[in-house]
Amino acid sequence: MHDERQQMLANERIGKLLWKLSLPAGIGMFVMALYNVVDTIFIGQVVGPLGIAGLTIVFPIQILVMGIGMMIGIGGASLISRSLGARDFEKAERTLGNVILLAVILGVLIAIVGL
């Protein structure tokens, strides 16, 4: 599996790789957007205009929190990948620990602020 993936990354055309590797991310973003639309429809039907107003207020905060989470995850993955590529496993483990600790601390802070 690992050798097969290395061969694919080494031999395939860049355009084909871009489509193949970015398709899951695109599908994930589509599903998240669809979730928000369906959520809005249900809240609009059950709660009414005040529910939609509440969603309108909370949605930018939700996007901000998701953006911070993605920033931590993507940045951490990039740092860990570079460390693993340089065969610096100690740095990769330290970075992973720091990323997890940062995510937990921010998660607790966001939960406290959200109460």
- Please write the tens of the pLDDT for every residue from 61-88: 888 998 999 999 999 999 999 999 999 9
CA distance 29 to 25: 6
The per-residue pLDDT for 7 is 79
CA distance 42 to 44: 5
The per-residue pLDDT for 1 is 61
Distances (CA, A) of 14 to 22, 27, 45: 12, 20, 46
Structure-model confidence comparison of residues 102 and 15, the more confident one: 102
8, 17 in Cβ contact below 8 A? yes
Q: Give the amino acid at 74.
A: I
The per-residue pLDDT for 114 is 81
CA distance 89 to 104: 23
